[in-house]
Structure 1
């Protein structure tokens, strides 16, 4: 007996249920779900042709064209891919945009191949609406923010606190000028979907009061959902006050050691070093106006010399020079100014372990 089609969206996301996405690749690239795998019924050009036919000649003609385009060996190859997914993920579901024709055709062709595989009722559109509503519902509940100067370990802490959500992790970007990773940043839709799924999992674990890092409206190239951003403007803040030397060590590891390793792992030794140097230079270039041209030129030279020394001898010492100047002359003054506008919402200050202990007692 086949399983019923899925209508329990919460359990679907909380359990990381495998999802077979039948939409065209262009639709999938714009936004999908963390556990979805694109196995399209139609490729982009086929979908476009069928859509044009639908507008000009109606549904029946469009269906006929679709069967004509996806037929014979093409159809056999796609059904074989679907079968492989279904056999590898017997607990999964399939979906198209609205849970309509593409889902039903896929189910029919799978049944002809001997497989009963359920679909998500309402398809991608219904799942997406559910996740957007989840974000808005969370925004209406209690939250506490972790604040502090650059390098104080806010992102580390949100990954150590049980009821915390990592906004930067969901965005795949650290939020600063040097915040990108080797892997591309998520699209806006993918960011929101990953964020909402994380929220659902926290709720399922019994956490209604959530903790977030104190973020601005933008993380890299994505925007924090409006309802969450507005709620964050009112939320209490616990400030991490770690000393400069501790923050420098974190930044050195985050922006230099790990990024150099990741670039080399991704691109090989020669290209990896080149792309690592370009990453640091682009980070500096992005804040040149705020630094002022002369200070930017000075810091860039120090940074470039640090990379050369690191590559030739493995020494990290020169990186402290530009990182410390960047903290003292740019990031710290900027954050102090921003924090001054939030002074009435600061409820606790302390070093890393003290803030973490305070959150465990007061933000649950």
Structure 2
């Protein structure tokens, strides 16, 4: 069957119908890719370097011939792999610019009866879109509060109440503190994080507010796009209040089950800021299993850091919301009522 060359507009609907193949090298794929795509390299990392060098030194014809010389012996292996994984024989393909590599893979697959949809402009077209999307103007409302106030849980409950949310920490695989990487998958690259971020933003209505958790510019080793971060600082912020006891209990639920050695390493990363005595006390409490003590110790530092970050937000756009001793359902109702101070009237759907 013949291939169909598709635009990015066509791509959005077709990718939900067919599996996606990325024909670039393993290294390119690891750096970033269209989420949910599968890597079937036409040229592997070392072969790509050889062909690229030849292209610069001797031109496209010799580079093309060399490319076929390198990949030709693997054609049968590629076909067997794709046929085994995708017996339905309908596939979406892309490479870097929609050029030689995706054309070769498309040609191979059409030879054995595949219906192929090849993305015009390749990954570069998709990446330009995602780069621009995370730097557009958005209507935001920031959910703030000191460590342990349950902001992520509230964010998830807001989503269940049909509110628009973006879970930045979930996308980043990091909870935003020295302890934030424990028990989490490896963080994506900055470029892949932006792709995931753009995918989440694409699902939102740009005319309605999007709830996000208050974050610093960095989430682990990832950096938020400057323009989006500045929008966060300028957006309305609802500062959640919880008792110290509630905060310690919530943190203990999440962190007391984690390996003690990793908790100790997280404490040691903060040694310069905590000081020697507080660091030693926290480590001793972790070893003894006294979670309330080491968590309370850490909150002294994190509370100061939060107050410092809170001062960066636009003046006059922060309100405090007392949720001390309040159950989750009532907390969401109060959050939605607080939202009306910035974004219009709230109607309780159960009324």
Bin of the TM-score, shorter chain as denominator length:
0.7 to 0.9
The alpha-carbon distance between structure 1 residues 44 and 340, as it changes in their structure 2 partners (threshold 3 A), is closer
Distance 1:344 1:209 in 2: 18
Pairs within 5 Å for 1:1-364 = 4-9=4-9, 11-12=12-13, 15=16, 18-72=19-73, 74-87=74-87, 90=90, 92-137=91-136, 140-161=137-158, 162-180=163-181, 181-203=183-205, 208-257=208-257, 260=258, 276-306=259-289, 318-327=290-299, 329-342=300-313, 344-351=316-323, 352-353=331-332, 355-358=334-337, 361=340, 363=343
Paired position in structure 1 for 2:347: none
TM-score, normalising length from structure 1? Answer: 0.83
Structure holding more helix per residue: 1
* Unaligned stretches of 5+ residues in structure 2: 324-330, 345-351
Aligned residues: 329
Distance 2:179 2:67 in 1: 47
Q: Deviations over 1:56-114 (max 9, x none)?
A: 22111111111111123x21011222334443683x41100001111111111111122
Distance apart, 1:359 and its partner CA: 5.7
Distance 2:218 2:17 in 1: 28
The alpha-carbon distance between structure 1 residues 287 and 17, as it changes in their structure 2 partners (threshold 3 A), is farther
Distance 1:283 1:297 in 2: 13
Q: Is the 8 A contact 1:95 1:120 kept in 2?
A: yes
* Unaligned stretches of 5+ residues in structure 1: 261-275, 307-317
SS, match of residue 208 in structure 1: coil
Distance 2:130 2:92 in 1: 17
TM-score, normalising length from structure 2? Answer: 0.86
Distance apart, 1:244 and its partner CA: 1.6
Q: Is the 8 A contact 1:159 1:165 kept in 2?
A: no
SS, match of residue 239 in structure 1: strand
SS, match of residue 282 in structure 1: helix
Q: Is the 8 A contact 1:240 1:355 kept in 2?
A: no
Distance apart, 1:199 and its partner CA: 0.6
Distance 2:18 2:228 in 1: 26
Q: Is the 8 A contact 1:238 1:355 kept in 2?
A: no
Distance apart, 1:129 and its partner CA: 0.5
The alpha-carbon distance between structure 1 residues 31 and 12, as it changes in their structure 2 partners (threshold 3 A), is farther
Distance 2:88 2:253 in 1: 39
The alpha-carbon distance between structure 1 residues 103 and 251, as it changes in their structure 2 partners (threshold 3 A), is same
Distance 2:239 2:31 in 1: 36
Q: Is the 8 A contact 1:239 1:355 kept in 2?
A: no
Distance apart, 1:176 and its partner CA: 0.8
Calculate the aligned-residue CA RMSD, in Å. 2.3
SS, match of residue 150 in structure 1: coil
Paired position in structure 2 for 1:269: none
